[in-house]
Structure 1
């Protein structure tokens, strides 16, 4: 029986979502083939919890646990940490050094996809439709007039390396731009200022456990708030329609683009991408290589519509990760 460490938590504000994702994985792993362990990774402490909520400190030198008089090691890591250090490549590189298999893409591609600045710039070179944008580094001089001449109003201000819409704001007036930029810089040293795209927002889940890329049923997102922000995502203030109300032509166009992006970024395992459909053309917004797996999350709902059980899916994901 394979021993699986389901890691959750993390160092960002997404840690609360990661804990929900991790527990969904822990609860749904098949006990006939796997022995799962809940492992929590926070800035101040790495530890494992047993079913009696007793804590056991993780030895960071080899990612082992002293369990009574035995040393517990793991056959595979199931990574459910959104944000740093799980989604930005830090932990993948750590597990590579220890030669422990893990779910998700490696350090190089984790870092690339997590940084919107690099990811958008690369995909644009391959002809992927993206919004007009500008990038700013912290302490860099900028002209509000030049920014708005480029992207227009309204526009979005986003941290380059952040998920769940944390630190994102929508700007309608020039006088609000400075404070939005200042707020975004609290979350990252690089930010993106992006033009507003009027259209239908969709989310597309993808997985590949071999040569074939599978695109899950597409979800249309209808937010009650001004945009699909943190509250909309996790407080029930959005309507999610799966499958999305798209024509066959647009659906096929989205699927082709998603597969193209997946290949360009050399991804493996699972991902979820966001798009805006404008005049039947999909515009890429961002990609998540460790999408949420909580009850509120989109990816598990797409699996359900596709008639794929979480237990089977997680088993396939682990087996692929151990064999690749």
Structure 2
């Protein structure tokens, strides 16, 4: 039996969503193979939460736990921390330093994909289509006309390093631009402003399954809101259709593109990337390296459509990281 630390929580606005994901992993992990431990990661402290909701401190020197007189160590960490430090490379680097395998991508890939601007800049030389974009850092002069001339209207203003659509606004008129920039700066001191891509939006899960890079059935996102924002993702304001209502040709196009992106970025574990069919061609929007695993999340739906149960999905990523 392997001791598995399920890491959840984190330092970002996605704390509660991560707790949901972690609890789903805890509930569905195969108890015949694994002994799961719910480990909450907060800025103040890290602790194990037992079945009586009692907290027990984690020793960060070696990521161990004392229960009574017994010292518990972990064979692997299941990383469900969305945002920092679980999705930006910090946890990955720490766990690599102390020699504990973990289920998500390596620290460099996490840092790269968490930074929307750097990720797009890395993919562009490979010919991966993306929106036209404009970068701003806090303190930069804001030339509204230059931004609009570059990306057009409507456009999206996004916090560069944030998830779950926090710090994202759709700007339709010039006077909405400055307020949207202020919203984004509440989440991050770097901003990416992107041209509006008009067309069908899809989410593509690519995972390492039984040692093979596997593209899961595609999910089409149909939102009641202006875009796939927090409400659409988590409060039922969207319809997620798996498999997506795409032609065979478009399905093949976006699957090939998603696999190419996964391999260019040297990903491992689970990933979910978003694409919009703009003028008939799929355009890369962003990569999520710790996709949600709550009951409402897309990746488990896609795995199920592929014939992979949630328990199989979770076991596969643990076994994959243990073999490394």
TM-score (norm 1): 0.98
In structure 2, distance between residues paired with 1:211 and 1:33: 19
Matching residue of 1:206:
206
In structure 2, distance between residues paired with 1:213 and 1:323: 15
Any conservation in 1 of the 2:202–2:276 contact (CA below 8 Å)?
yes
Matching residue of 1:164:
164
Matching residue of 1:313:
313
Matching residue of 1:224:
224
Matches within 5 A, 1:68-83: 68-83=68-83
Deviation at 1:303, TM superposition (A): 1.0
In structure 2, distance between residues paired with 1:104 and 1:68: 31
Aligned with 1:213: secondary structure?
strand
Any conservation in 1 of the 2:3–2:75 contact (CA below 8 Å)?
yes
Unaligned segments of structure 2, at least 5 residues: none
Deviation at 1:210, TM superposition (A): 6.1
In structure 1, distance between residues paired with 2:52 and 2:186: 38
In structure 1, distance between residues paired with 2:192 and 2:210: 34
TM-score (norm 2): 0.98
Deviation at 1:209, TM superposition (A): 4.0
In structure 2, distance between residues paired with 1:239 and 1:177: 29
Matches within 5 A, 1:178-193: 178-193=178-193
Deviation at 1:212, TM superposition (A): 2.5
Any conservation in 1 of the 2:204–2:217 contact (CA below 8 Å)?
yes
Aligned with 2:212: secondary structure?
coil
Matching residue of 1:137:
137
Matches within 5 A, 1:1-324: 1-209=1-209, 212-324=212-324
In structure 2, distance between residues paired with 1:240 and 1:155: 24
Deviation at 1:208, TM superposition (A): 1.4
Any conservation in 2 of the 1:10–1:81 contact (CA below 8 Å)?
yes
Any conservation in 1 of the 2:293–2:300 contact (CA below 8 Å)?
yes
Deviation at 1:279, TM superposition (A): 2.8
Count of equivalent residues: 324
Aligned with 2:134: secondary structure?
strand
In structure 1, distance between residues paired with 2:199 and 2:277: 5
RMSD of Structure 2 on Structure 1 (CA): 0.9
Deviation at 1:141, TM superposition (A): 1.5
Deviations 1:204-227 (A, max 9, x none): 001114652111110000111111
